[in-house]
Amino acid sequence: MWNYLPPSAGSIVHPHVQILLESEPTPQLATLMAKSSDYYRSSGQNYWATLIEQERKQGERFIAGDDLISVLASFAPCGFNELCFIFHGISSLAQLDEICIETFSDRLTMVLIAYEGMGIGSFNLCTSSGPIDEDFSNFYWMSARLISRPYPKGIYTNDSGPMERMQGVWVIDTLPEELARKMKLALQSQSR
């Protein structure tokens, strides 16, 4: 994940990415992988390859692509100005080679320059990598989604970040049990 500036839920203004390695996929990734597997079992085809082929034919949302990476405007976005980068034949970050990383970096740079030209100054980028120790590329291809966030102004932070918007995981700052304990104490002190 890359949270760029406070409107994206980035707390420190500096370039950085965060890598989350978990034993279980996030809800969004689990759904993507399950639906991709279902599509493969029912049709014998890779959903991502079919999606790229159909989008290229229709031309409405297909932006750019070659044998390594395709860029699409998302059909059902979860954020403003959402773009999807699809890595052909690659199911996880572990499978990326230097050429693919360089191609992605070049495409991302061009897109971010275009975002700037559109007046977009803050964004979230999130990759959806399959397990790093297995190859699921027969049915699942890794993707990265980019969404714009409100233009930065003054002192500002956001209570909705990439985990909520792009992974279906709600990050909270207080456990429900802790909130209940604090609330009970506060209410007790009011009734005295």
Q: Whole-structure pTM over 0.85, yes or no?
A: no
As a dihedral over the C-alpha atoms of residue 103, residue 124, residue 46, residue 63, rounded to 10 degrees, the angle is -60
Report in angstroms the alpha-carbon separations of 16 from 2, 88, 102, 130: 6, 25, 18, 22
Q: How many CA atoms lie within 13 A of 95 on its CB side?
A: 20
Residue 146: give its domain's CATH number.
3.30.428.10
Report in angstroms the alpha-carbon separations of 48 from 58, 88, 91, 129: 15, 8, 11, 14
Residue 88 pLDDT: 98
Domain count, the chain: 1
Residue 97 pLDDT: 97
Domain coverage including residue 43: 2-190
Condensed to tens digits (0 to 9), the pLDDT of residues 19-34 reads 777 788 888 899 999 9
Q: Give me the amino acid identity at 81.
A: N
Condensed to tens digits (0 to 9), the pLDDT of residues 119-170 reads 888 888 999 999 999 999 999 999 999 988 877 666 655 556 777 766 777 6
DSSP SS3 for 28: helix
Condensed to tens digits (0 to 9), the pLDDT of residues 52-110 reads 999 999 998 999 999 999 999 988 888 888 899 999 999 999 999 999 999 999 999 99
Q: Are 104 and 88 in contact (CB under 8 A)?
A: no
